[in-house]
Structure 1
Amino acid sequence: MAINISLLISHFTPFISLYLLFHTTTTISAVNITHLLSPFPDLSDFSALLSATTVAAALSHRSSLTLLAVPNSFLRSSSLLRPSPPSNIADVIRYHVLLQHLTPNDLTGFSPSGKLVPTLFKTTSRDSRATSNLGYVNVTYDGQTNTTTVSSPAAYSQPPNSATVISVIKTLNHNVSIFSVNSLIVPYGFDLLTSETRPPLGLNITKAITDGHNFNVAASMLAASGVVQEFESDENGAGITMFVPTDDAFANLPATANFQSLPADKKADVLRFHVLHSYYPLGSLQSIVNPVQPTLATEDKGAGMFTLNISRVNGSVAINTGIVIASVTQTVLDQNPVAIFGISRVLLPKEIFGKNDENAPVGNGAPSPVSSSSPGDFPPEFFVPSSPPANREELHSSATVRCVNFVVFCTGLLYVFV
């Protein structure tokens, strides 16, 4: 009997190992850091910087990290980011990613002298500037004031070289923590106040659009609405990305979308709906991590409203409003911190035009690179109301686990019978 049990265990050992291997693999998931930050509007600027500097994409492959996020109130009051070269900004953001998972309890366990923790800045190809301890931060805890401080360990670092942890924002799966801090932390050797070759603040956006040709209607509407001044003032910080419909796009608006009959405030909202409060060159749009992006209209109307769903489809950038799908047709201007793209359709927000036809995308004019394609060319989410990214990820993960479990089970049965 003991021999039979031993043989049975030996017989099933490969099956059990195979099951555990597949089961373990399915529990590993990528980190979508901008999605984790999306419920916190006070961190929207920092989240935008994560995307614009491609740091968010780099974090998707990390299984363990701690993020030190700077709230809008502190970030916007700082003049550090405005004139700084993009490469410097990227490295500063990397300096706020600790390559070690720290829990709230861990933060209160450090000594007053602190402990060095490596950052994502240490792993960059610019490692010559992150030699010795310069790619680390020193984390200390003061029991008398109950404060945790994160600072540059270099003796001659210039301010701002430290920040105080304000609160815990989120912990996830025992491998990701996000804390808010009261300042940017600048690595030793960086001078963020140096000048760079950016277009002068107050760039004439209307002229840039007019010079792009085939955007006369959009240029006229921007000039008449007065919102173009808002766009030009928003070039600071993370910059802006504009989607400008062609003249043909305006000519082919369906009768149900009577743009001209809207009151002035709603016209302004539609124009703001065409602008992201972050600088995205074309390559960044094609590889954007968080497809659901807030617009300048979102800032006026509230989180979760007037958002765009941006993705790459058939080699082109597709923009889904919920009732309209447009594609990027050309780059009008790309000079950090401003990107302007021509698009094939007027972006109609469902908050204003959704009541006209909530069951189908608007559009019956001349075909665009997106609209002329057959439904089979696009994922199903382009033709139904978009579900939140987290739900899609959970459904995909669940389906993958069920599929893998079924394959493993069949493999085990085959092994037994053979």
Structure 2
Amino acid sequence: MMAVPLLISHFTPIISLYLLLHSALLISAVNITHLLSPYPDFSDFSHLLSTTTVAADLSQRTSVTVLAVPNSFLRSSDLIRRSPSNTNIADVIRYHVLLQYLSVQDLRRFPPSGKLIATLFQTTSRATNNFGYVNVTYDAETNTTTVRSPAAYSQPPNSATVISLIETLPYNVSIISVNSVIVPYGFDLLASETRPPLGLNITKALIDGHNFNVAASMLAASGVVQEFESDEGGAGITLFVPTDDAFAGLPPTANFQSLPADKKADVLRYHVLHSYYPLGSLQSIVNPLQPTLATEDKGAGSFTLNISRVNGSVAINTGIVQASVTQTVFDQNPIAIFGISRVLLPKEIFGKNAIPENPNSIPGAASPITSLSPESFAPSPPPDSSNGRQSPVTVLRVNFAFFFFFYIGLLYVFV
């Protein structure tokens, strides 16, 4: 009579392990569009999931939260009205998939300062640094949860408020409605898809503009000018180019010439905004803290410029140097090039102490920048877009593997 209980006890670990593996397979095969099908107000969002293959990406994921946008909000957004490229649509939808399960209770536990959570967009090679993350905050006074881009200076629509829970499969899948499309930093859904590229030769434009020979030589030698010209499409670019006198006036404490090639390239990228701003827009800019191309390389909040209007002209402050716009070199959508009075030195490279004007500089003097060979501007290695963070899915898989082998060991002991 004791044989039957003993046999059952031996098989219990096997049965438990089978059920565990079977449930894991069921979780990985969840169909988000099927879960949304009983809710007609989300038919447009569900359609975008399936037509952009994001739904197929989700079928391979565990532990996700989908921020679904109702038809009424989605149809009034530029994501639908302006018909951007399929790649842009897919990435915006990926930005609405959080790689972490969040319950209603979880949404009320976030601090007012927020918490960064990775999205499906972060897993693509197109998300720079942490621009594939969202910041989730909770306001206890208004009982509202807000999801926004971590870049405070990103263009709207960059945030949404949680409306309600739509569907949940506890601890694995949560679908929550929000009141707006959230667009990742660097996307411009208003940009015309049919606008022909300008194809401007930036180096030639600087040489033709006179008094920009040093900057033109540095851009050509470093290779970053090709990056700038490739960014002419979409939102466009705005370049702040120091005059030859500005380079000649660099004080010895700036020590620009001794920088390695990758840091020189970062300084050049620091002079470029990844949006087209004509002079009038710069003079009336709403958000003075602006990211640069160096920001996209180094991370949100770093290598930013503070742009304001001072004494009737545009002032650009780096935290240690303040320059002013002296002239318009070129201005035709999508490119604006402005001459500036000083070299913009980022505090991330040159420290946080203000660098005064060089009292010994003579207007028109030869620039101290003499070595401009292409070898001295070897490109730096690309940054790790993951920022060293491990995604919740990776952690889950590692823990599951550990648990699996631990279970096998116990099974061996019991048998």
> What TM-score, normalized to structure 1?
0.45
In terms of Rg, which structure is larger?
A: 2
